[in-house]
A and B are shown apart, each in its own frame.
Chain A
Amino acid sequence: MHEIQAAVVAEHVGFLWWIPALPAIGVLFHIFLGRRVRETVVSVIAPAVVGLSFILASVAFCRIWSGPPGLVLQQTLWSWLPVGSLNVAFALQVDALTAVMILVVTGVGFLIHLYSVGYMHGDPGYARYFAYLNLFTVAMLLLVMADNLLLMFVGWEGVGLCSYLLIGFWYDKDANASAGKKAFIVNRVGDAAFLVGIFLLFWHLGPGAHSLSFTEIAERARHVSPAVLTAVTLLLFIGATGKSAQLPLYVWLPDAMAGPTPVSALIHAATMVTAGVYMIARLHSVYELAPVSLEVVAIVGALTAVFAATIGLVQTDIKKVLAYSTISQLGYMFLAVGVGAFAAGIFHLVTHAFFKALLFLGSGSVIHALNGEQDIRKMGGLRHHLPITYRTFLVGTLAIAGVPGFAGFFSKDMILARAFAHAPILWGLALVGAGLTAFYMLRLFSLVFLGECRADARTKAHLHESPSTMTVPLVILAVLAVVGGYVGLPEFLAWGNRFGAFLAPVVGNGEHAQHHPQLTLELALIGASILAVLTGMGLAYRFYVQAPEIPERLARRWRGAYRLLWNKYYVDELYDAAIVRPVTQLAHFLWRQFDLAVVDGAVNGAGEAVQETGRWLRRWQTGNVQHYALSLLLGTLALLAYFLGRG
């Protein structure tokens, strides 16, 4: 696999640091001046810095596109951690993989900033919101542009922090604050493992100078024992399950929907949650040396894809459905990287960023129009009132469902084909997931936009299409959700998989190059997935448009299964009983028995002992001179007796 990777051609360029620095300037501006200037100023600066960053990112992308294969743009800013033989640099790099990521982060990020201008209009925390959103962009850019593992970890933690800040953005509501805390704590669990993974890797990299840069890691990993590499990659993957919401650490993502909807679109759908996929693609040379870990990644991904999709079937909160859908789609990406199809995983990451951001922003537009209503049972018939949202949402639905011609179809099919080549059982799971995806997305779409409006009269009277700062990003994303797929066509069509070819110098072609599936097999697989998608969509259409009584009848008939899904497999309750409550009780016990009794006891006891001794000893101080004189005399006599007696 390594031999097909072209030699790395490094080129030092001076403008790379501006890409994360521009949003950083935005952060400083919003923090220090945001409250003193008018809302309009913030509305211009916040998207503008990200937009400029996007232009620079495009320049970098074009350099790589037109340059020789394997071109890497680099910029070392300063020596960051020179400790003994370890010398970690604050260095940025852009190769094909990073170029794709920064385009997505700044491009989709720009559109979402633009959308937020309309969505957050009039919010008292307007400047604070954009400070966080810009800060997130900085952290995410650092994550994908870092040239070493430690700097990537800084970005990794940074996006987690921004996620926490933005989930709890409306912190005066208790539920939002707890959702933020939950996200942060669950992420900590994963990040702890991630950090241990970094330590373990550093420890085993061998003697000599270290920079922990990805090229160095890739080179030295070959001399590390497979058992250690398996442990390292699994630990890093635990970090990824936290950040990217995979089994078993996915529980925070549905709750994260408490944040403002553009945040859900940017952080919890398009960019941050895909960090785990990026991490594995970035460290693919290490993962490839640990096949067991890759197998685990693929299995966890496939299971998550189906598991989350089944929960999504019955959810009634528009954003929760999309959240479970995100978890499920992230599962596909992990399935892809797990079977060695790194380019396919990143391809799905990109198309997913387009259509899921579109769907979230669309749902934001719906929620905006309905005055904050998120329950899809109280929606319906919105196609007349929100024509632009309706059309773009339809595009997003078709794209995520995997209808031929839309972006999701190409990326998902690439994953399915590679999964089948790896293990048909994984392909089977993914196929079921694809059917479920088509079902719950069409269910969501039907309940929101088709049929009769079920909102109350007051809400109905206020129905309005969103302002143009919100609809323009929707339209652009809708276009991307269609054309985004055409950069990665199946090999036998037109220009083939240009996306895969572009990434090949970085992540390799995987097994793809060695055993190219036969045309008939590939066509059969595509046919099967189209069939699954159409079945899912057909059932949803029948259930929720033609015969709305069927779902209720089914829910009554399969009451147990329905309840299980409705309660999300009781995973939250399970975690609460198995982990949260024991930990709380342990903390309570330690507080009572150790903190209060032992620590406080020791400190207060020392004080009391001194006081008690003093109270007792002060009886000697009678204030009577003669008593003192007597003591003196007796003391002298005692000394005298002692010395005389000793002789």
Chain B
Amino acid sequence: MTTVPASWYAFLGVLLFTIGALGVLVRRNLIIMFMAIELMLNAVNLVFVAFARQQQTMDGQVMVFFVMTVAAAEAAVGLAIILAVFRNRETVNADEVNLLRW
């Protein structure tokens, strides 16, 4: 049985990560930006598990659990912040949330 080479996973991870990073940079909607961040995290997860399998170690898979835990916590806190911002400012547009600018 032919296996998918690890480099393919890596390329897919880089692709997903770049999409996520560009999403964070160019989109203005906080929820979309948030989702883009999740995409970046999962791109990293993908690379972790791919290399873990190739190397035949558990290190990468353990790392993924950590990332998923952090991502879950981050999702809870981040969504709560976005909710709070929306309640106060009635917007989720990042450009309009600029009270701390000079």
Query: Chain A residues in contact with chain B, CB under 8 A?
Result: 618-619, 621-626, 629-630, 633
Q: B98 on the interface (CB 8 Å rule)?
A: yes
Q: B4 on the interface (CB 8 Å rule)?
A: no
B101: chain A residues within 8 A (beta carbon): 621-624
Contact (Cβ within 8 A) A624 B98: yes
Q: Identify 12 new A-B residue pairs, CB closer than 8 A, beyond the known A622-B101, A629-B24.
A: A618-B102, A622-B102, A623-B98, A623-B99, A624-B95, A625-B97, A626-B24, A626-B26, A626-B28, A630-B25, A633-B21, A633-B25
A618: chain B residues within 8 A (beta carbon): 102
Q: B100 on the interface (CB 8 Å rule)?
A: yes
B98: chain A residues within 8 A (beta carbon): 622-624
CB closest residue in chain B, given A625:
B94
Assembly CA distance A3 to B101 (angstroms): 95
In the A-B complex, the 6 residue pairs with the smallest Cβ-Cβ separation, listed nearest first, are: A623-B101, A623-B98, A618-B102, A625-B94, A621-B102, A629-B24
Assembly CA distance A524 to B28 (angstroms): 121
Least Cβ–Cβ distance between A620 and chain B, in angstroms: 8
Within 8 A of A (CB), among B3-52: 21, 24-26, 28, 33
CB closest residue in chain B, given A636:
B21
Least Cβ–Cβ distance between B79 and chain A, in angstroms: 16
* Best-surrounded residue of A619, A622, A626, A630 (most CB of chain B within 10 A): A626
B28: chain A residues within 8 A (beta carbon): 626
Q: List 28 A-B contacts (CB under 8 A).
A: A618-B102, A619-B102, A621-B101, A621-B102, A622-B98, A622-B101, A622-B102, A623-B98, A623-B99, A623-B100, A623-B101, A623-B102, A624-B94, A624-B95, A624-B98, A624-B101, A625-B33, A625-B94, A625-B97, A626-B24, A626-B26, A626-B28, A626-B94, A629-B24, A629-B25, A630-B25, A633-B21, A633-B25
Assembly CA distance A622 to B100 (angstroms): 8
CB closest residue in chain B, given A633:
B21
Least Cβ–Cβ distance between B40 and chain A, in angstroms: 10
Least Cβ–Cβ distance between B82 and chain A, in angstroms: 12
Assembly CA distance A191 to B97 (angstroms): 73
Place the interface of chain B in its size category: 10 to 19
CB closest residue in chain B, given A620:
B102
B100: chain A residues within 8 A (beta carbon): 621, 623
Assembly CA distance A317 to B7 (angstroms): 114
Least Cβ–Cβ distance between A223 and chain B, in angstroms: 78
Assembly CA distance A128 to B41 (angstroms): 87
CB closest residue in chain A, given B95:
A624
Assembly CA distance A629 to B102 (angstroms): 17
A630: chain B residues within 8 A (beta carbon): 25
A622: chain B residues within 8 A (beta carbon): 98, 101-102
Least Cβ–Cβ distance between A616 and chain B, in angstroms: 11
A624: chain B residues within 8 A (beta carbon): 94-95, 98, 101
Partner of B25, one of A619, A621, A623, A626: A626
Least Cβ–Cβ distance between B32 and chain A, in angstroms: 12
Least Cβ–Cβ distance between A384 and chain B, in angstroms: 93
CB closest residue in chain A, given B28:
A626
Assembly CA distance A624 to B102 (angstroms): 10
Assembly CA distance A625 to B33 (angstroms): 10
Assembly CA distance A618 to B100 (angstroms): 11
B97: chain A residues within 8 A (beta carbon): 625
Assembly CA distance A630 to B27 (angstroms): 12
Assembly CA distance A232 to B79 (angstroms): 88
Least Cβ–Cβ distance between B55 and chain A, in angstroms: 20
CB closest residue in chain A, given B100:
A623
A621: chain B residues within 8 A (beta carbon): 100-102
B99: chain A residues within 8 A (beta carbon): 623
CB closest residue in chain A, given B24:
A629
Assembly CA distance A547 to B28 (angstroms): 115
Assembly CA distance A72 to B100 (angstroms): 85
Assembly CA distance A624 to B24 (angstroms): 12
A626: chain B residues within 8 A (beta carbon): 24-26, 28, 94
Assembly CA distance A95 to B1 (angstroms): 125
Least Cβ–Cβ distance between B96 and chain A, in angstroms: 10
Assembly CA distance A622 to B94 (angstroms): 12
CB closest residue in chain B, given A615:
B102
CB closest residue in chain A, given B94:
A625
Least Cβ–Cβ distance between A573 and chain B, in angstroms: 64
Least Cβ–Cβ distance between A624 and chain B, in angstroms: 6
Least Cβ–Cβ distance between A644 and chain B, in angstroms: 14
Assembly CA distance A619 to B25 (angstroms): 19
Least Cβ–Cβ distance between A382 and chain B, in angstroms: 86
A623: chain B residues within 8 A (beta carbon): 98-102
Least Cβ–Cβ distance between B44 and chain A, in angstroms: 13
Assembly CA distance A633 to B102 (angstroms): 22
Least Cβ–Cβ distance between B91 and chain A, in angstroms: 13
Assembly CA distance A625 to B101 (angstroms): 10
Assembly CA distance A264 to B24 (angstroms): 92
Least Cβ–Cβ distance between B27 and chain A, in angstroms: 9
A interface footprint on B71-102 (CB within 8 Å = 1, 0 otherwise): 00000000000000000000000110111111
Least Cβ–Cβ distance between B64 and chain A, in angstroms: 20
B95: chain A residues within 8 A (beta carbon): 624
Assembly CA distance A621 to B99 (angstroms): 11
* Best-surrounded residue of B26, B94, B99 (most CB of chain A within 10 A): B94
Assembly CA distance A629 to B30 (angstroms): 13
Least Cβ–Cβ distance between B66 and chain A, in angstroms: 19
Assembly CA distance A359 to B102 (angstroms): 82
B33: chain A residues within 8 A (beta carbon): 625
Least Cβ–Cβ distance between A634 and chain B, in angstroms: 10
Assembly CA distance A633 to B21 (angstroms): 8
B26: chain A residues within 8 A (beta carbon): 626
Assembly CA distance A630 to B21 (angstroms): 9
Least Cβ–Cβ distance between A423 and chain B, in angstroms: 88
CB closest residue in chain A, given B36:
A629
Assembly CA distance A41 to B26 (angstroms): 94
Assembly CA distance A618 to B24 (angstroms): 23
A633: chain B residues within 8 A (beta carbon): 21, 25
Assembly CA distance A633 to B22 (angstroms): 10
Least Cβ–Cβ distance between A626 and chain B, in angstroms: 6
B24: chain A residues within 8 A (beta carbon): 626, 629
CB closest residue in chain A, given B27:
A626
* Best-surrounded residue of A623, A630, A633 (most CB of chain B within 10 A): A623
A619: chain B residues within 8 A (beta carbon): 102
Assembly CA distance A626 to B94 (angstroms): 8
CB closest residue in chain B, given A621:
B102
Least Cβ–Cβ distance between B84 and chain A, in angstroms: 15
B25: chain A residues within 8 A (beta carbon): 626, 629-630, 633
Assembly CA distance A625 to B95 (angstroms): 8
CB closest residue in chain A, given B37:
A629
Assembly CA distance A274 to B7 (angstroms): 108
Assembly CA distance A279 to B6 (angstroms): 105
Assembly CA distance A42 to B89 (angstroms): 80
